[in-house]
Structure 1
Amino acid sequence: MLGNILLGMVIPIILGIWILRRNFTIFILYYPLGVAIAACINNIGFNYFWNILPNTRNQSFAALPMDLGVYPIAGCLMMYAILVKNANPWLAILVVSLLLTLIEWLAKMMGHVIYFNGWNILWTFLSYLLPFVLAYGYSKLLKVYQVNVH
């Protein structure tokens, strides 16, 4: 569990805050969205499609560091690239989705992630793609309501 906490939460949050220190509004606006989406997807997934180590009585507990760390921070950094660095939104969404899928695939190959009920790496990619598309849509909604994130 210590590995999940360090690699899934502590290191991503430190790096994310350091990168976003001059654009903290992005963190404030997108971090809670990322936590909410990650928690929803993982709660469904642990009940029907996957499991991660270490085994705990409540499998969502093992993913809590990732729900609070790497997933929302990845979304914040993606939005930083789109909003501040003017990256192509769809390319940024694709790259971040592929990167997280690659990380999960490596964890699966090392035996830290177990899929069942027909879940596979393609579904994993889609489970990352959808939240990042939602985050980008959220940014468009914020723009309509003139919330300045720069």
Structure 2
Amino acid sequence: MWINILIGLVLPGAIIGYLFKKNPVVITLMYPVGVTFAVIFNFGGFGLFWDVSPTYEHNPSLSALPFIIGYFPLWSCLFGFIKIKEIVNPFLLTLLFTIITTILELWAVWLGKILYLNGWNFFWTFVIYLAGFIGVIFYIKLLKKYKILRQDFVDHNCI
């Protein structure tokens, strides 16, 4: 479990903290959507499509908690920051982030930290990450539509 806490929470938390110092508005808006998608996708799949080690009998999703509040929100913060800044074409950004996160999960499967069940495979992993990043794009569009996210906030304290 210490590995989960270090890789899933401490390291991402330090990076999120750094990004927050650079642009608190963007990170404050993007962090909750990362947690939300992580909760929706992960709690829906635990025990049915995958398990994360170590497995706890009374709460099998406990092992993933550090990732749900650290690792996944980090990816939404990074993705959102780059998307909002329009540094990279949105299609390429989405494809790149989906491939990177899928490869990182493949590595976790290879190391035995994640066990796929009931026909879950790397294709479905790719699809679920793709859906998450597309969801972040729609969230950003919603923030812009209602003028919650304005360009002057985006330009503030850029990296």
RMSD of equivalent CA atoms:
1.2
Deviations 1:12-56 (A, max 9, x none): 111122134221111111111110110111111103100011111
Q: Which residue pairs with 1:108 in the alignment?
A: 109
Asked if the contact 2:9–2:71 (Cα under 8 Å) also holds between the matched residues in 1, the reply is yes
Secondary structure of the residue aligned to 1:95 is helix
Unpaired runs of 5+ in structure 1? none
Secondary structure of the residue aligned to 1:51 is strand
Identity of aligned residues (%): 36
Question: How many residues are treated as equivalent by the alignment?
Answer: 150
List structure 1 runs of 4+ shifted beyond 3 angstroms. Answer: none
**TM-score normalised per structure 2:** 0.89
1:135 aligns with 2:136: yes
Structure with bigger gyration radius: 2
Q: Distance in 1 between matches of 2:85 and 2:16?
A: 15
Q: Which residue pairs with 1:34 in the alignment?
A: 34
Secondary structure of the residue aligned to 1:9 is helix
Offset at 1:101?
Answer: 0.8
Q: Distance in 2 between matches of 1:85 and 1:9?
A: 28
Q: Which residue pairs with 1:22 in the alignment?
A: 22
Secondary structure of the residue aligned to 1:21 is helix
Unpaired runs of 5+ in structure 2? 155-159
Q: Distance in 2 between matches of 1:111 and 1:134?
A: 29
1:48 aligns with 2:16: no
The one-letter code of the counterpart of 2:111 is M
Offset at 1:85?
Answer: 5.0
